[in-house]
A = this chain, B = another copy of it.
Amino acid sequence: MNPSKVPDIVIGRLPLYLRALTQMAQDGKEITSSQELGGELGISSAQIRKDLSQFGEFGKQGTGYNIEFLADQLKRILHLDQIWDVALIGAGDLGTAIANYGGFIDRGFRIRSVYDNDPSKIGTWAGAYEVHSVDQLEKDLRDMGIKIVMLAVPASHAQEVTERLIAADVKAILCYAPISLSVPDSVKVQYIDPVLHLQHMTFYLSK
C-alpha cells in the first residue's frame, strides 16, 4: 500500500497496537482478536481491522491474529525491523532522565550519542553516555548517519539547534521543548509537552 495514501492518524495507532501485542506476547498469549485488542486499548474492533487492512491481510477468519506474526508485520510496516540510532541533545535533568531510561532498546531505538552546549558538562556522564560538545554536531551526526534526534534543550535554544539538525540531514525530531519548531516538510517532528496534556484535562475538571 502506498504510504502516502494512509492517513497519518492510522500510522499513529500502529505503535499502540504493537505495544499491546508485545505486552500480550510477554504474557504468553499466542492468539488475539481485533475485539480483544480493541478492548485493551479502548478502540473499536472494526477500526483495528480497518487500519490493518490498509497494509494487507494478517488474520484468519474465525480465529483471529497470531500475535507474534502480527507484531512482526507491524514492525516491518513501521520500519522497526532494525535498530535505529538516535542522538540526544541536552544533558540537563530531562536529558539525563532520558539517557537513563531503559525502555528504548527493546522497542527499536538505541541512544548513540549525547550532546550539550555547557562546557562544564562535556566529558561528564549522563547515565551510560559521555556528554559531547555540540561543536562538531553536524559532522558527528552525518558521520554516524543519525536520522533521529531527541531534543531536550531549553525552548530558547530549540529552534537554533533544530536548524543545525536539519543541516546535518536529520529527518525526525522528538522535541521536548514547549514550542513549535519550524522545519521543512521533509523533516518529521513530534512533540512531548506534559503540560499540554494536563491543560487538556483540566478543561473537564471543575473546582
Contacts and interface: CB of A to CB of B under 8 A. Distances in A.
Range, interface on chain A:
35 or more
A165 interface: no
A97 interface: yes
Nearest to A13: B200
Contacts of A80: 199, 202
Nearest to A152: B97
A163 to B, nearest CB: 17
Copies of this protein in the complex = 2
Nearest to A39: B182
A105 B176 CA distance: 17
Contacts of A94: 97, 101
A172 B79 contact: no
A85 to B, nearest CB: 10
Contacts of A196: 12, 15-16, 19
B205 A79 contact: yes
A132 to B, nearest CB: 21
Nearest to A18: B199
22 contacts: A3-B204, A11-B204, A12-B200, A14-B200, A15-B200, A18-B199, A19-B196, A20-B180, A78-B203, A84-B202, A93-B100, A104-B198, A107-B199, A108-B199, A147-B207, A148-B198, A172-B201, A188-B201, A188-B204, A188-B205, A190-B197, A192-B197
